[in-house]
Amino acid sequence: MQLEIQKRRQKGYQEMLESLLVFRFGKLDSQLEVILEQIMELPKEDFNRLILQLSHLSREELLARFGVEN
């Protein structure tokens, strides 16, 4: 039961992050999909910090932060 709750919560976080990326950058392309996976693996504190910073980061800054070539 606890594992099911954790999976649903993780899915909710991923859907929220996908929506934020689409809203901020217009579409979820292959580069942003790579970043999405990396963000989902961040520790909770880093994940939260990045979510708060997302509206201030350019696409290029976000890609650079995760080492994705533009």
User: Per-residue pLDDT tens for 29-60?
Assistant: 999 999 999 999 999 999 999 999 999 999 99
The reported pLDDT for the residue numbered 68 is: 85
| Nearest-10 crossing angle of helices 30-40, 44-53 | 140
The reported pLDDT for the residue numbered 32 is: 95
Provide the b/e sequence for 42-68 (b: ≥16 CB within 10 Å).
Answer: eeeeeeeebeeebeeeebeebbeebee
User: Per-residue pLDDT tens for 2-25?
Assistant: 889 999 999 999 999 999 999 999
Look up the pTM and report it: 0.86
